[in-house]
């Protein structure tokens, strides 16, 4: 993990494996997690800020996947902000960067390209992982779709269900979180692709990044037109 270096991935520094001092040392991110920010502010991101977060995460995840690393536990609680994060939703876009963190369950992908064994958190977990089926990097794409929903709603996925009930619903009934009615149409379409039941139907992060950047450019141009 020491070789992993990207501006949107929290830097691993070292580890102490000699008992009783078992610990992992990483880059310090004083802004805390995106999850805590969302729930502390009790509101949702404005679209430009939401896209900024999503683009940062996509860049980090695209880098990891290019290096054959599957995160396996992607969620808002594992996205950290640097010290320049803003204090409220209206100015959040002024912060510098969001980074993917917590590689406690990350693994280098096997040569076959698929992995087995369940890991991660049920509410964000891809159906193939829940079912203990072989899986690959597309499991992270499913989780990213749930993360995007978190950014849109500032809520816990399937909050009225237990984690196990949510997992059963995802696998057996195709359960997915309900998107807000005012969701940008292209974001709606992207999320539907990300949490497809069939992993092969989900986009790669390179494609996700391209879509998000196009939406961000479109939103920026629209805001300029409205201000002129």
Mean pLDDT of the 197-211 span: 98
Check residue 99 and report its DSSP letter: E
Tokens at residue 4, please?
A: 């992993």
Residue 156 pLDDT grade (very low, low, confident, very high; cuts 50, 70, 90): very high
The pLDDT mean for the chain works out to 84
Per cent of the chain over pLDDT 90 is: 57
Residue 63 and residue 6 in contact, taking contact as beta carbons nearer than 8 Å: yes
Mean pLDDT of the 151-175 span: 94
Residue 225 pLDDT grade (very low, low, confident, very high; cuts 50, 70, 90): low
Q: What is the pTM of this model?
A: 0.86
Residue 73 annotated as catalytic: yes
**What digits encode the pLDDT tens for the residues 43-96?**
788 899 899 999 999 999 999 999 999 998 999 999 998 865 445 555 555 556
- The C-alpha atoms of residue 222 and residue 73 are separated, in whole angstroms, by 35
Per cent of the chain over pLDDT 70 is: 82
Q: Is residue 111's pLDDT more than 50?
A: no
- Residues 111-139: b if buried by 16+ CB within 10 A, e if exposed: eeeebeeebbbbbbbbbbbbeeeebbbbb
Q: Counting every residue, how long is the chain?
A: 228
Query: What is the pLDDT, as a whole number, of residue 224?
Result: 64
* Position with higher pLDDT, 156 vs 12: 156
CATH of segment(s) 31-227: 1.10.510.10
What are the residue boundaries of the structural domains of the chain, listed by start?
31-227
**What digits encode the pLDDT tens for the residues 3-54?**
778 889 987 777 788 888 777 777 777 778 899 888 887 678 889 989 999 9
Q: Is residue 1's pLDDT more than 80?
A: no
Query: What is the pLDDT, as a whole number, of residue 51?
Result: 94
Query: What is the pLDDT, as a whole number, of residue 226?
Result: 64
Residue 221 pLDDT grade (very low, low, confident, very high; cuts 50, 70, 90): confident
- The C-alpha atoms of residue 155 and residue 133 are separated, in whole angstroms, by 28
- The C-alpha atoms of residue 133 and residue 113 are separated, in whole angstroms, by 13
Q: Which is the catalytic residue, given 73, 102, 136, 140?
A: 73
**What digits encode the pLDDT tens for the residues 112-130?**
444 444 455 899 999 999 9
Residue 6 and residue 60 in contact, taking contact as beta carbons nearer than 8 Å: yes
């Amino acid at each position: 993990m020491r070789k992993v270096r990207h501006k949107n991935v929290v830097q691993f520094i070292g580890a102490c494996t000699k008992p009783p001092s078992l610990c992992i040392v990483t880059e310090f991110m004083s802004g805390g997690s995106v999850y805590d920010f969302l729930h502390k502010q009790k509101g949702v991101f404005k679209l430009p800020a939401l896209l900024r977060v999503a683009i940062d995460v996509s860049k980090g995840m695209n880098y990891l996947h290019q290096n054959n690393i599957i995160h396996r536990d992607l969620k808002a609680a594992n996205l950290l902000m640097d010290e320049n994060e803003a204090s409220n939703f209206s100015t959040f876009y002024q912060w510098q960067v969001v980074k993917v963190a917590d590689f406690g369950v990350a693994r280098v992908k096997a040569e076959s390209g698929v992995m087995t064994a369940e890991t991660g958190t049920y509410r964000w977990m891809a159906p193939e992982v829940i079912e203990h089926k072989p899986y690959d990097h597309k499991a992270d794409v499913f989780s990213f779709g749930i993360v995007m929903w978190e950014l849109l709603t500032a809520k816990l996925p399937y909050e009225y269900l237990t984690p196990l009930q949510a997992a059963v619903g995802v696998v057996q009934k195709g359960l997915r979180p309900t998107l807000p009615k005012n969701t940008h149409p292209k974001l709606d379409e992207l999320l539907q692709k990300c949490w497809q039941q069939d992993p092969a139907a989900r986009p790669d992060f390179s494609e996700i990044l391209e879509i998000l950047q196009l939406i961000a450019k479109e939103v920026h141009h629209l805001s300029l037109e409205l201000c002129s």
